[in-house]
Structure 1
Amino acid sequence: MSEKIIVKIQNLLELAYDAPNDEEGQTALLMAQKLMVKHNLTLKEVSAKQKKENIGETVGTWAYKLPWWQLQLAAILGENFRCKTIRRRKRKEGVTEMIFFGYQSDAELCTRVYEGAILYLQYRLKRLFPTITKARWKDYKKSYLLGFLRGLDDRFKAQVQSSEEFALMVQVPAEVLEEKRLRMGELKSRAVNITVELDYEAYIAGLEHAKETKLMPEELVE
């Protein structure tokens, strides 16, 4: 295999990581994936030619009390950007952090997409609020967010099912899992329980918006 092809893929991936949310970054990631498939290269083979990258963590967000939907959003993104998500309580400061743990470039990319998704949803909710009665708003908001998260998760799953190569690309590397175990031990997972009288209009609106936003996997990795 030509070293020039591998270097080209590495450069495209680096460009994608540097600008994940704009058109140039999305195009670079698309080209890198197509070259890997064309030349029968795995991400592991490409990475083996790169310098050893640090494994660490980034803070996606923090708050005195994290909203349930931000927890679920982080879990969905982490699973599809080669990262483990960790909810860490800092008792002294009285805040909770949402952590992405993985190779530095993966964790940074995941954090950027996560921050962008939060801003997008806050923008959508702000625009929806004046159009819904106060009595209806609480369940409408939850239903909209549930629909959006379902739509986001469905699009990632469809992308993974469409390509075996892509399915391997988004798996959390074994080295990351082992490093997490060594640093943090075995962490318990916590379910997020949501009580809502489902508003189907809001739920469908969330699903539809999940298909449109550029934070979705087709624009990032196809």
Structure 2
Amino acid sequence: MNLQEAKEKIQKCLALSDSPNEHEAQTALLMARKLMASYKLSDADLTKTPSSLEVEKRLTSITYSRRRDAWIGALANLIAEKHCCSSCYTHEYNKQTRFVEMIGFPDDLDLCIRAFEYAVYAVHTNIIYRKPAHEMSYALGFINGLKKAYDHQDECEETALVAIIPKEVTEYVKSTVKFLKEEPNERTRAYCATSYSLGVLDGKNHLTKKICKAEEGSA
């Protein structure tokens, strides 16, 4: 397909990513990112230019604490970076619950937040039957595997895509954000090798499994 046809297909995929059907929405979102990488298109190429937009900070539906789902900080960092955004958190005074926020241009945020919330859902779904002591190991493995999948996709000759956080976003973060996203500390490191390895495998497959099913269905 030519460039214009690719843009039209991407727009359709983005429209479908609002579908109430969770699997259809995620398939459309991942397909859009694959096409954007293949044709080296950014969100700005599809809509407005970044210079005509204002940086926003949006609250996601995800919460965590240092005791509950402490891995979410690292996952938010990774996905935000890969979607040209930045992550942070906010919390009420003297409260442990932290609310994850994303910072970026509007169109980047649309994709970033959907990708982040779905990834959290995927991890929770896969660890639901695991022992609590093994949940962190699996989650950190998933994050490592997902990073490998992103890096492979970004380095592939046919789908080369370098995600760069715009300077406007970086400046906004420096001037307004108080609580930057945390990385897991030593107390939350992986300590179950089996769960960690399974997490790595699932994380590496996270970006491609929905796309492959979609392409098989359209063949």
Give the TM-score taking structure 2 as reference length: 0.72
Secondary structure at the residue paired with 1:97?
strand
Compared with structure 1, are the counterparts of its residues 45 and 126 closer, same or farther at alpha carbon in structure 2 (3 Å cutoff)?
closer
State the alpha-carbon separation in 2 of the partners of residues 10 and 99 from structure 1.
29
Matched, 1:192 2:184: yes
Aligned to 2:139: 145
Letter in 2 for 1:213: H
Aligned to 2:27: 23
Aligned to 2:63: 62
Alpha-carbon contact 1:12-1:29 (below 8 Å) kept: no
Shift of 1:217: 10
State the alpha-carbon separation in 1 of the partners of residues 181 and 96 from structure 2.
21
Can you give the 5+ residue segments of structure 2 that lack an aligned partner in the other structure?
18-24, 213-219
Percent of residue pairs identical = 16
State the alpha-carbon separation in 2 of the partners of residues 108 and 74 from structure 1.
14
Shift of 1:158: 2.0
Aligned to 2:149: 155
Can you give the 5+ residue segments of structure 1 that lack an aligned partner in the other structure?
37-41, 130-136
Name whichever of 194-203 and 82-91 sits farther off.
194-203
State the alpha-carbon separation in 2 of the partners of residues 217 and 187 from structure 1.
34
Matched, 1:124 2:126: yes
Aligned to 2:215: none
State the alpha-carbon separation in 1 of the partners of residues 198 and 165 from structure 2.
31
Compared with structure 1, are the counterparts of its residues 206 and 84 closer, same or farther at alpha carbon in structure 2 (3 Å cutoff)?
same
Shift of 1:63: 4.6
Shift of 1:191: 4.3
Aligned to 1:85: 87
Q: State which of 112, 126, 129 in structure 1 corresponds to 2:114.
A: 112
Alpha-carbon contact 1:57-1:104 (below 8 Å) kept: no
Aligned to 2:77: 75
Letter in 2 for 1:46: D
Q: State which of 160, 163, 170 in structure 2 corresponds to 1:177.
A: 170
Alpha-carbon contact 1:113-1:215 (below 8 Å) kept: no
Compared with structure 1, are the counterparts of its residues 125 and 189 closer, same or farther at alpha carbon in structure 2 (3 Å cutoff)?
closer
Alpha-carbon contact 1:87-1:98 (below 8 Å) kept: yes
Compared with structure 1, are the counterparts of its residues 53 and 215 closer, same or farther at alpha carbon in structure 2 (3 Å cutoff)?
farther
Superimposed CA distance per residue, residues 44-98 of structure 1 (whole angstroms, 9 cap, x where no aligned partner): 8726865833320222223565621111110110110110111223327764221
Compared with structure 1, are the counterparts of its residues 13 and 102 closer, same or farther at alpha carbon in structure 2 (3 Å cutoff)?
farther
State the alpha-carbon separation in 2 of the partners of residues 45 and 109 from structure 1.
13
Letter in 1 for 2:202: H
Aligned to 1:132: none
Aligned length: 200
State the alpha-carbon separation in 2 of the partners of residues 190 and 141 from structure 1.
18
Give the TM-score taking structure 1 as reference length: 0.71
Larger CA Rg, structure 1 vs 2: 1
Shift of 1:143: 1.6
Superimposed CA distance per residue, residues 84-132 of structure 1 (whole angstroms, 9 cap, x where no aligned partner): 1112233277642211100112112211111111111111111334xxx
State the alpha-carbon separation in 2 of the partners of residues 174 and 216 from structure 1.
33
Secondary structure at the residue paired with 1:101?
strand
Q: State which of 182, 205, 211 in structure 2 corresponds to 1:212.
A: 205
State the alpha-carbon separation in 1 of the partners of residues 190 and 167 from structure 2.
41
